[in-house]
Structure 1
Amino acid sequence: MKRLLFACLCLFPGLANAQTTLFSAETLKGWVNVRAVATNGETSWLHERAYGKTRYGGETKGRLAEAALIWTPRFSETVTGYIQVVHVPELGHETGINEAYLKWRPVPKSALRLSARLGQMYPPVSMEHEGVGWTTTHTVTPSAINSWIAEEVLVQGLELSLKQSYSQQQVGATLGVFRGNDTSGTLLSYRGWALHDIRSTTTAKLPLPRGNAGWSRIFRSQAPFTKPAKEIDDRQGYYARLDWRPSVPLALNATYYNTHGNPTDFDNGQYGWATRFFNFGAKYEPSARIEILSQLMVGNTKWGRMRADGVRAVDMDFRSAYLMASHISPKGRRLTARFEHFETEDYSNPLIDNNNETGQALTLAWMRPINAHLDLNLEWLAVSSKRPSRLYQGLDPQSSQSQLQLDLKIKY
């Protein structure tokens, strides 16, 4: 982070002399989420290093879900800052930095729009996190795709974006280079897909499943947790995104992401992973009150030295897709339904470390803004999955569970 801050000063040399607005009602925002939760099925992956697919598992109680504070100082007409600090009880009661970056957006002089971000941030993959502070706007729990982005794809780098409007269309391109995120793929491989609203921080440690077989018996140097923001091989990753908005009420995007990681590097209990994926997104708005969204992600993650058969110690494809329909009323009440499918395919040695998985999930959510400082959200989530590695904990490979959440968001 220190190197990134130094780069910020180099990129924006007039920053220190610019007229600034550091603290005001507009530069400070925050919220607290409290929930009543009822779930069944297996224990959550966040507790006792289990395989459960939801944030909560086998419990009925009220709890604090998240507390967040956002600071958005303005340094000049074109340069702003963004720092979000979050408190997540499941991550060892950790309070840490989620996103922290400088943003440059020059005053446009034509139909071309240019912007840049420098710091710690999420790549522009999710179509669900459109709210303040990279929060979801359609459901409480994001899809499996964007739950994984939130937990394992937090990067530190530089991003440039261009948008060009002509006639009744708009095209855009985004390029990013980054460091960190070398462990991306660890959790997806050993635990599999999950659905939750946990967001990582710079120092987050996410638990890996326990067991006396599978990865925990073979790769004993691996710590029982993964650090999503860790830099291991001193190599730069990159991503690129294309956007197109035609004259009809449709938005399409395609993203390629590559950690460019060295899959043979190791540092203090954390392995380097080579992870790459394509993400395709679409949003259709047949009317002012109806939205239909969809994302498809296909990718691969691997770790270890190349074997004689051309496969590494862990070599896994992953795929997921969702279709969502959402309706918002004139009073701002939103009703959303989402169906999704997810799977992983293990090419390494599933006889001794099986990372195969298939599953589906259905989400129904109702969200109601009560006033400027209070939102009420109700969500039901059902997940069914088959993962042979559950046998390592003496569990049935097939699992079904549901989760009901009543969420109260207090904004300040």
Structure 2
Amino acid sequence: MCIVQAKAESNGVGFSDVEHSIHGVVDIRVGYADTIDSYLDGGLGKLAANNGGQIALSQLGLNYQAQWGDAWSSRIVANAYVDGINNGIGLTEAMVRYRDIPSESGIRLDVEFGLMYPKISLENVATAWASPYSLSYSTMNSWLAEEVRHIGLSTTVESLGKYRQSAHDFSLTAEAFMYNDTTGAMLSWHGWTQSSRQTLLQETLPITAIPAMQPGGMLDEQAANSDPFKELDDRIGAHVVAKWTWRNNGSVQAGYYDNNADTLIVKQGQYAWLTQFGHIGAKWRLPMGINLISQYMQGSTIMTNTDGWPVVDNDFHSGYIMLSKRWSQHRVSLRVEDFSVTDNDDTPEDDNNEDGQSFTVAYQYQLDRPWFMQFEYNVIDSTRPARKYLNQPIDLVEQQWQLSSRYFF
């Protein structure tokens, strides 16, 4: 970590010190995948890797933060990937934050504005939205990393229990946002995935070439790539989250997300998708130093033609339970998941149905304070009828082994 303090001056008058800090992560991996074409390559594989062996710079993340006094700060997060499929470098988050000092009764205001993730993930709490528990995120948080981000305003009101001689904290977050009207497209057309790939601000995402997108099909006006940060209808979406924290024990949260998209809008092959979901999650300390982390999401996404006819109408869910134990220089994490997409429309040659389960085991060894070696095994068992369009098995078991060297600074 690098910290620099600078004194700001204007007309001879000194303002508060500005503190600059840079954190980062370098993640280099070797691995082997028993799979089909990756979703990053426009395929229907659940993994970020194609079949066979690979070596990759899976993440080079940089987090720059500037702090003005006690309340104001800004943060810019950039990520780079060299994986042989979809190399890139760009921004993943950028925001300004105001977080005031708590009042005498323990009430504190926390406001953020900019490019940000909705406040959902309980896994991705390390530098540059990495996970300290596993190399690959859960299917739920992999989807957030791919296409559930926005530019918006997030306001949190906290009630801190220590000011009330209580071990219980409460918070309520309200977010208003734009620039995410296509959210739901990738979840529909390639389904749930499992990786650690965060979509960069300037990136677009390849869509599987299903028959409905060929000339004459009901989806032939859809662009070949989806733009996950597109604003099409000039409408504001909303997200609310309530959280209870019992200090030294854990926390529970629940929220609801609605991007409020106008599905009658299509511009340059990009359709607006109305995507809504509820989510719950808990992070709890169990006996013997075991941490329990669990989240569940359920919702729907719909895309229509300009006359309002539902062309894609899907319900979806994803949930995981993870147990993680850390001792000395070791950490072991186990995660099980269940996920599905239910296709409710009658569009021919566009079957979005999906059902699957996933299991992940990860072992981490700390070589030095910022340096970790980590091994991970993933197996995903899924059924997706759309694979028949590509002459691939509808029922598929995919496996992945990865060995990583991760250095945090």
Same fold (TM over 0.5): yes
Q: Deviations over 1:323-372 (max 9, x none)?
A: 1111111x242101000000010111165311000000000001222213
State the match for 1:202 in structure 2: 201
More off after superposition, 382-391 vs 240-249: 240-249
**Hey, what's the Cα distance between the residues in 2 that align with 1:143 and 1:311?**
33
Matched position secondary structure for 1:355: coil
Change (3 A) 1:207 1:89: farther
Residue of structure 1 in register with 2:102 after alignment: 108
Q: 1:120 aligns with which of 115, 127, 146?
A: 115
Partner of 1:51: 44
Displacement of 1:249: 2.2
Question: Is the Cα–Cα contact under 8 Å of residues 283 and 293 in structure 2 kept in the other structure?
Answer: yes
C-alpha contact 2:61 2:127 (8 A) present in aligned 1: no
Letter in 1 for 2:38: S
Distance 1:377 1:112, change over 3 A: same
- Give the C-alpha shift of residue 203 in structure 1: 1.1
Question: Are residues 1:74 and 2:67 paired?
Answer: yes
Q: Determine if the alignment matches structure 1 residue 327 to structure 2 residue 321.
A: no
Cα distance 1:70–1:221, how it changes in 2: closer, same or farther (>3 A)? same
Q: 1:397 to 1:18 in 2, by over 3 A?
A: farther
Structure 1 pair 288–168 and aligned structure 2 pair: CA distance change class (3 A): farther
Alpha-carbon distance between aligned partners in 2 of 1:28 and 1:129, rounded to the nearest angstrom: 18
**Distance (whole Å) between structure 2 residues aligned to residue 159 and residue 18 of structure 1:** 27
Q: Does the CA contact (< 8 Å) of 2:170 and 2:243 recur in 1?
A: yes
CA displacement at 1:29 relative to structure 2: 1.8
For residues 187-198 of structure 1, the aligned pairs below 5 Å read 187-198=186-197
How many aligned positions are there?
389
Structure-2 separation of matches of 1:386 and 1:159 = 37
Q: Does 1:314 align with 2:309?
A: no
> How far does the alpha carbon of each residue in 1:195-232 deviate from its partner, in whole angstroms, 9 at most, with x for none?
01011222111111123x13454312211111111111
**Aligned-pair CA distance for 1:122:** 0.3
Q: Is the 1:73–1:81 contact (alpha carbons within 8 Å) kept by the matching residues of 2? A: yes
In structure 2, how many angstroms separate the alpha carbons of the residues matched to 1:288 and 1:226?
Answer: 46
Q: Give the partner amino acid of 1:367.
A: Q
Residue 354 in 1 paired to residue 347 in 2? no
Mapped partners of 2:281, 2:15: distance in 1 = 39
CA shift in 2, pair 1:232/1:18, >3 Å: farther
User: What is residue 179 of structure 1 aligned with on the other side?
Assistant: 178
Partner AA of 1:131 in structure 2: A
CA shift digits 1:158-191 (9 cap, x unpaired): 1011121242212110000011111100000011
Counterpart CA distance in 1 for 2:325 and 2:248 is: 19
* Alpha-carbon distance in structure 1 between the residues aligned to 2:342 and 2:306: 18
Q: Does 1:336 align with 2:333?
A: yes
User: What does 1:33-182 align with in structure 2 at a 5 Å threshold?
Assistant: 33-47=27-41, 49-89=42-82, 92-110=86-104, 111-164=106-159, 165=161, 166=164, 167-182=166-181
Q: Distance in 1 between matches of 2:329 and 2:256?
A: 34
* Partner secondary structure for residue 286 of structure 2: strand
Distance of 1:22 and 1:222 partners within structure 2: 47
Determine the C-alpha separation between the residues in 2 that align with 1:194 and 1:69: 25
* Cα separation, partners in 2 of 1:411 and 1:293, compared to 1, 3 Å: closer
- Show CA shifts across 1:103-152 (max 9, x none): 11112233222211111100111110011221112111111000001111
Give 1:247 deviation, angstroms: 7.2
Instruction: Measure, in 2, the Cα distance between the counterparts of 1:147 and 1:119.
Output: 21
Q: 1:17 to 1:194 in 2, by over 3 A?
A: farther
Pick which of 336-345 and 221-230 moved more.
Answer: 221-230
Paired residue type of 1:21: V
Q: Is residue 2:26 matched to residue 1:32?
A: yes
Inter-partner Cα distance in structure 2 for 1:121 and 1:197? 17
Quick one: which of 389, 398, 404 aligns to 1:392?
Answer: 389
Tell me by how many angstroms 1:320 deviates: 1.0
CA distance in 2, matches of 1:222, 1:22: 47
Relative to the length of structure 2, the TM-score reads 0.90
**For residues 326 and 350 of structure 1, do their structure 2 counterparts lie closer, same or farther at Cα, with a shift above 3 Å needed?**
farther
In structure 2, stretches of 5+ residues that fail to align are 1-12
Aligned residue runs from structure 1 range 233-248, under 5 A: 233-246=233-246
% of aligned pairs identical?
A: 27
Provide the C-alpha distance between the structure 1 equivalents of 2:96 and 2:152, rounded to a whole number of angstroms: 11
Alpha carbons of 1:246 and 1:31: their partners in 2 closer, same or farther (altered >3 Å)? closer
Rounded Cα–Cα distance in structure 1 between residues aligned with 2:269 and 2:309: 22
| Structure 1: segments with no counterpart, 5+ residues | 1-15
Match of 1:226 in 2: 226
Write the deviation string for residues 262-298 of structure 1: whole angstroms up to 9, x where unpaired.
1121122211110010011012212472111111100
> Equivalent residue of 2:129, what SS?
coil
1:376 to 373, 377, 389: 373
CA contact (8 A) 1:18 1:76 kept: no
Distance 1:400 1:250, change over 3 A: same
Following superposition, the deviation at residue 88 of structure 1 comes to 2.3
Shift of 1:317: 0.3
Contact 1:311 1:347 in 2 (8 A): no
| One-letter amino acid of the counterpart of residue 93, structure 2 | E
* Alignment CA distance shift 1:379-1:17 (3 Å): farther
How many Å separate the matches in 1 of 2:118 and 2:289? 28
Considering fraction of residues, name the structure with more strand: 2
Q: Say whether the 8 Å CA contact 1:44–1:53 is kept in structure 2.
A: yes
SS in structure 1 opposite 2:120? coil
Moved more, 370-379 or 196-205: 370-379
